[in-house]
Amino acid sequence: MIVRRFTPADGDDFFALNGNADAMHFIRPAKNRADSDAFLQDNLNLYLDGSMLGRFAVYHKTNGNFLGTFSFLYLSGEANYHIGYALVPEAWGQGYATELVKTGTPYFFAGTDHARLFAITHPDNKPSQQVLLKNGYRQEGQMTEGDKIVEIFIIDRS
């Protein structure tokens, strides 16, 4: 896979994910094109401070197909980061989520001084929970994130 920052030219791919009700089922409501374009701009603004924050485009290394997003975002405020991913349905079940978490976790720890990294899932999203557990995250209960309840997973630097 190739993981890179989104650009303003990536609106079609960004919408292909964020406008897809199946892909967004456990994450948030699907967006219309105008809302997706505004959301892309919000994401581009996250890159401005040079931090690791943001959603990043994920493409297939060989055929160039858009697979989805990978992210490091704040979790409930600005003290904790969480790792995340969202894939287009055509990319489900092919190991991409596992590989993103497997390589993204050490990348996060190499690039920050944070002692832990969080992940959150919808309580019914068992495949994502299995990806996290397989990659060394431990389940730590639930919390309210916005207006929904999410499962919390944590991995420590060590």
The tens digit of pLDDT for each residue in 101-112 reads 999 999 999 999
Which H or E run includes 153? strand 148-156
- pLDDT at residue 2 greater than cutoff 90: yes
Phi, psi torsion values for 33, nearest 5 degrees: -60, -45
pLDDT for position 79: 66
Enumerate domains of the chain plus CATH numbers: 2-156 (3.40.630.30)
pTM: 0.91
Distances (CA, A) of 28 to 21, 86, 147: 9, 11, 11
Phi, psi torsion values for 59, nearest 5 degrees: -125, 150
